[in-house]
Structure 1
Amino acid sequence: MSRYRNLVLFLSLAAIWGTSFVAISAGLEHFPPVLFAALRYDIAGVIMLAYAAYAVDDWRPRGRDEWGLVVVGAVLLIAAYHAFLFIGQQNTTAAAAAIVVSLSPVLTTGFARLLVPADALSRVGVVGLLVGLLGVGVIAQPDPSDLLATEVIATLLVFCAAASFALGSVLTRSIDATLPIETMEAWSMLGGALLMHALSFGLGEPLEPSAWTNPEALGALGYLALLASALGFLLYFDLLERLGAVEINMVSYVAPVFAAVVGWLYLGEGIDTTTIVGFGLIAIGFVLVKRQALRDAFGNARGRAE
C-alpha cells in the first residue's frame, strides 16, 4: 500500500512541477519576468513560514551557520534560479525549459566533485556530465554565425538557472547547520523574493494594472505560489524522507512529459525532434553520473518489495 501511495505522490509532484513551466509561460504574457517570480515567492514564502512555525520547533534561523544556509538558499536556490528561468522562458517553450532544468541533478554532482577534489568524478561520470551538456547544446541549436540568437540566449539563461540551483544545492549541504528543511525553505523563499523585488526595481520592470484583473494572470500566479511552491515542496519533503535523494531526482525526468503535453494542449506549443533528442541525452547523462546510486537505490527498493 505504501508503494502505491509513493507512486501516486511521485506522479502528482511530477505533474505539478511539470505544469508549473506552463503556468510560467502563461503568466509571462501578463507579468514582467523577475517581478512575476518575486510575487510567486511573496505568497509561497508566507505560507511556508506558517507551515514551518506549525510543523517544527526551530521555525527561525539562529546563529551564523543557519543564517548562512538561508542566504545561500535565498541567493542561488530562489533568486538566481527563478530570475534566470523566468527571463529565459520568455523565449523558449515550457517543455524545453523543463528539459534543460532536468540537467540540475547532473550539474549538482559535477559541482560536488569540483568543490571536493578528493571525490573526483570517474571517467564514466565525466562522460555523463559531457553528454548532459551536449543535450543542452542540441536543444539550443546554436548557429555559429549567430550565437546571440534569441532562442540560444534563452536556452543559456535557463541553463544558468539549472546551474544556480545545482551550485546552491551543493553549498547548502556543505554548511554545518541543523536547520529543518521547512524552515530553511521558508526563509529562503522570503529572502529570495526580496532580492528579486530589488532586481525587478533595478531593471525598471513595468506592471500593467490590467494584470491584477486578468483571470489567466491571477490563475498562473496562484498556481505557482500555492500548488507548485507550497504544496509541491511539501510533497517533495515527504517523498525525500520516504524515497531518498536519488529516487526523488527522477521527478526531473518525468516533469518534462507533463510540461510538453499540457504546453501543447493549453498553449499550443509544439515539441520538435531536437528537443526530444536533447532530453534523451540529458537523461543518459543522469544515468551515467548516478549509475551506482541508482543501482543501490533501486536494489533497495526491490528488496523492500520482496
Structure 2
Amino acid sequence: MPRHSTLLFLALCAIWGTTWIGIKAGVEVVPPLLFAGTRFTAAGLLLLGIAAWRGEFELPARQDVLRFGATSLLMITLCYAALFWGMVHVDSGTGAVLEMSLTPIALMGFALWLREEVFDRRRLAALLLGVTGLAMLFGPTALRSWAQASGEGAMLRLAGAAAVASAAVTYGWGSVVARPLLRRYASIFVAGSTTLIGGLLLLAISLAAEPGAVSALGGQWGAAAWAGWVFLVLFGSLIGYTIYMTLLREIGATRAGTYAFVSPIIAVLLGMACFGEQIHPLDVVGMAVMLAAAALAMAERKPGPRRATSPSAFQKS
C-alpha cells in the first residue's frame, strides 16, 4: 500500500480510537441524537466551507443527487440513530463486539455485492481473524452482561444489540454506495455534503421524538460536553471522516474498514492510561490478533510468478 495511504490509515485509527471520550462526555448530559445531529451539521458546514475555499465545491450532477442522499441517510442518519439508541440498552463490550466486528464484514459484503471489489481469500481470512480478536477482547464482558439480563431487560438488550448491528450494516452499505461519488468529486466535498444532510436529518428526528431535545438546544451542556462536541466536530468528523472518504477512494471499502481492528486497541489503552482500567492477559492476546488481522488485510498482494517466455520472441532478427 502506498505510504501516503498507510499514514492516513494510521491517523484515522488514532483519531477514531479517541472519539469515544468525546461521545461519552456528551451523551451523559445531552440527548444522544441531538448531540450527534448538531455535531454532524456543524462539521458538514465547515467541510463545505473549506471545499468552497479550495475551489472543490460543485453542485452534484442530477444523476448523483440520489446517491448523495442515500449515502447521507445510510452512513450518518440511520447508522448513528440506531447506534446511539442501541448503546443505551447494551453494555459497551456487547456494543464493541457487534459494531466493530460487523462493520468490516458489511463493508466487504456490500463491496462484493455492488461489484466495487473482487473476492480476496486473504482479506476474508483477515476479517475472520480480526473478529476473533475482538471477541477475545470484549467477549467476556458481553457474555457477563447477557447472563445477568432477564425479563424486560433482556428484551431491551436484544433490541439494543439488533440496533447496533443494523448501524454497522447501514454504515457498510453507505460506504460502498459513496465510492463512485469519490471518483467524480473531491473527498472533502463528499464528506461535507453527506455529514450536513445526515446531520440535519438526525436533528429533525431528535427534535420530533427525543425527550429533552428541544430544551437542550439552549446549549446548557457544561464544559466537558462542549469540549467533547468540539473534539468530535474537528477531529472525529472534519478530519477523520474526510480521511475515511479518501481511503475509500484509494484502497477500497474492505481495507479501509479494518480501522475497526485497530481503533478499539487505542480506546482500551487510553482507558487504561486515563481511567486506570485493567487489562488482562486475554485482552493482550486479543489485541495482538487484531493487529495481525489489520496487517494482513492492508498488505499488498504479491504478484504471481511470471510465465517463462521463449527468448526468440524478443530477439532481433
Offset of residue 260 of structure 1: 1.6
Offset of residue 232 of structure 1: 1.6
TM-score (norm 2): 0.71
Offset of residue 185 of structure 1: 1.7
Aligned-CA RMSD value: 4.3
How far apart, in 1, do the equivalents of 2:119 and 2:11 lie?
35
Give the gaps of 5 or more residues in structure 2: 304-317
> 1:224: which partner in 2?
232
Q: Find the partner of 2:205 among 199, 202, 206.
A: 199
Number of residues paired by the alignment?
291
Deviations 1:184-242 (A, max 9, x none): 22111111111111211231330455853511010111111111110223444566677
How far apart, in 2, do the equivalents of 1:201 and 1:274 lie?
43
User: Aligned pair 1:180/2:201, yes or no?
Assistant: no
Q: Identify the range of structure 1 (25-34 vs 129-138) with the bigger mean alpha-carbon deviation.
A: 129-138
How far apart, in 1, do the equivalents of 2:94 and 2:285 lie?
11
Give the gaps of 5 or more residues in structure 1: 301-306
How far apart, in 1, do the equivalents of 2:108 and 2:83 lie?
21
How far apart, in 1, do the equivalents of 2:81 and 2:286 lie?
23
Determine what percentage of the aligned residue pairs are the same residue: 26
Are the counterparts in 1 of residues 39 and 233 from structure 2 also a CA contact under 8 Å?
Answer: yes
Offset of residue 265 of structure 1: 4.5
Deviations 1:128-186 (A, max 9, x none): 66994996794743459658355554443222211110111233346797233322221
Deviations 1:109-144 (A, max 9, x none): 12334456x97787x959966994996794743459
State the one-letter code of the partner of 1:197: L
Task: Say if 1:152 and 1:40 are closer, same or farther in 2 by CA, change over 3 A.
Answer: same
Task: Say if 1:270 and 1:218 are closer, same or farther in 2 by CA, change over 3 A.
Answer: farther
> 1:255: which partner in 2?
263
> 2:162: which partner in 1?
156
Q: Identify the range of structure 1 (252-261 vs 214-223) with the bigger mean alpha-carbon deviation.
A: 252-261
How far apart, in 2, do the equivalents of 1:176 and 1:73 lie?
12
Q: Which has the larger radius of gyration?
A: 2
Are the counterparts in 1 of residues 179 and 248 from structure 2 also a CA contact under 8 Å?
Answer: no
Deviations 1:234-279 (A, max 9, x none): 4445666776655543322211112122234446666788988887
Task: Say if 1:244 and 1:170 are closer, same or farther in 2 by CA, change over 3 A.
Answer: closer
SS in 1 for 2:262: helix
> 1:165: which partner in 2?
171
How far apart, in 2, do the equivalents of 1:248 and 1:127 lie?
13
Are the counterparts in 1 of residues 44 and 195 from structure 2 also a CA contact under 8 Å?
Answer: yes
